[in-house]
Structure 1
Amino acid sequence: MSKLSAGRTASLTLAATAVLTLALVTGASANGPATGEPAQAAAAAPSVSGSPEGAFTRIADFYGSYIDAVYDGDGPTADRLRAFYLSEPLQAELRKWEEANHADGVLRAQNVPLKWKVTSTGSGTGRTNATVTLTWGSDTTKVFVQADLATRKIVSIRD
């Protein structure tokens, strides 16, 4: 076995470093084709979509905005959101429920969830239905919400 000269060893080390650096930058494998394609497909970026015409979208928009406002301690914004998204009869019903239960009628709780998810459960008889899953640390609760298809106002919140 012959000994490599110091210059030859340095050249080989530099070449190996360059190949590894190129592989890291391009995502190419030292053993695979150097196409510049990542070794794994990147995970899809999160996205949210909706339509101002859809009653289901309105339910999701309301819960997302309402929870943000309550979490931030912005009572006036939470009140404006209720006035915009909830039917007047539901607003009156929630005021009675809150007085009797000493909790937020929209969330059915005294505190604010850490996460939320709105799932469509179908439409019929002029209404769209959704289940709102609220996550409180390791616990979850569900509320069942209906919105009127014609007005897109939320007309019912039940636990």
Structure 2
Amino acid sequence: MSKLPARRTATLTLAAAAALTLALVTSASANGPAAGTPALVAARAAAPAPSVSGSPESAFTRIADFYGAYIDAVYDGDGPTAERLRSFYLSDRLQAELKKWEEANHADGVLRAQNVPLGWKVASTGSGTGRTDATVTLTWASGTTKVYVQADLATRKIVSIRD
């Protein structure tokens, strides 16, 4: 690979910076008069970046973790991973209940559907009597459905899924 003289490299760097600046100014102008205003630029910079957090000690976090990972596995067609997730996150009793529900309904008992949602959201609906409750909203092309989930606070296992 040939090496450019230092002066030539500096000239190319300055030319690239000028072209980038021109592209940014042109883009701001093309997007309308307010697109590049300082207030709008500051508002975009202040918008929080998406984040996810949780705790391995939280039964609620376990519900959210399970639904996120399970939907990913089903979406990817990875049946063995979906089964391992069920085994890890769901109580033995719930796993048996889901098998019966699935045989009767010919659908996935966790999702209460035959297909995979486009998105999901888990919201806490409180805790009491040794359990934590959550509502899982599943987003489909045609709308949303809700699944009501309960986890045991001591074991952090999901013990109930109802629609």
Give the TM-score normalised by structure 1.
0.76
- Tell which structure's C-alpha radius of gyration is larger: 1
| Corresponding residue number in structure 2 for 1:48 | 52
Tell me how far apart the structure 1 counterparts of residues 135 and 158 of structure 2 sit (CA, whole Å): 13
Match of 2:87 among 83, 89, 94: 83
Runs of 4+ in structure 1 over 3 Å off: none
Tell me how far apart the structure 2 counterparts of residues 111 and 124 of structure 1 sit (CA, whole Å): 33
Post-superposition CA distance 1:54-109 (Å, at most 9, x none): 00000000000000000000000000000000000000000000000000000000
SS class of match (2:111): coil
| Corresponding residue number in structure 1 for 2:153 | 149
Deviation at 1:148, TM superposition (A): 0.1
Tell me how far apart the structure 2 counterparts of residues 40 and 76 of structure 1 sit (CA, whole Å): 45
What RMSD in Å do the two structures reach over aligned CA positions?
2.0
Tell me how far apart the structure 2 counterparts of residues 119 and 105 of structure 1 sit (CA, whole Å): 19
Match of 1:65 among 69, 78, 102: 69
Deviation at 1:138, TM superposition (A): 3.5
Match of 1:132 among 132, 136, 151: 136
5+ long unaligned stretches in structure 2: 1-17, 26-37
SS class of match (1:40): helix
5+ long unaligned stretches in structure 1: 1-16, 25-34
Post-superposition CA distance 1:20-75 (Å, at most 9, x none): 96x96xxxxxxxxxx9xx54352211000000000000000000000000000000
Moved more, 129-138 or 62-71: 129-138
